[in-house]
Homo-oligomer: A and B are copies of this chain.
Amino acid sequence: MSAGTETLPRGGEMPANEFLKQLAAVIRAEDSYGSWDGKPDAELLEEYIVTAEERREMPIMGDPDPDLLWRVEKFYEAVALLLEKRTGAMAAQMSKIHHEGFGRIVLISGRLVVLSKHVRDIHRFGFETYVRLAEAGEQASRDAADMIARFPDAASA
């Protein structure tokens, strides 16, 4: 069997990307006993992958479970840390998620809401590929940096 006919792994290849590195680091920070030391980043992030087929099988409505809310929180924590690396601005996360899975997530820096996401169907949170996951994190971090550039005084108040 040649390499060309191999099926890509679930979520596709994992690109070398700063956001993905940051997200993996955020998750490793929770691993007090080093039990994940041997795991590659792709494995740590695999629960962020939801393929099109998996998504079709998910119910339209659903209550998000604690593991999923934890993953959402880590996602935005990584966005905030990447933002800090790139702009120096520290951002705190707040969220208000209804138990039925809709709500709002914000990152706050000083007096500025640098990122504001209204979410729904959060029980379906996930990305088809690692590339998409990386793009989403990079985009969120860029949006936040743009907002700081727009209102620097409020961000440092």
Contacts and interface: CB of A to CB of B under 8 A. Distances in A.
Contacts of A14: none
Contact of A151 (B94, B96, B108, B151): B151
A131 interface: no
Contacts of A113: 108, 110-113
Identical copies of this chain, number: 2
Contacts of A151: 111, 151, 153-154, 157
A116 interface: yes
Nearest to A113: B111
Contacts of A153: 151
A104 interface: yes
Contact of A154 (B92, B94, B96, B154): B154
Contacts of A150: 157
Contacts of A95: 94, 96
Interface in A104-153: 104, 106, 108, 110-113, 116, 147, 150-151, 153
Contact of A111 (B92, B96, B147, B157): B147
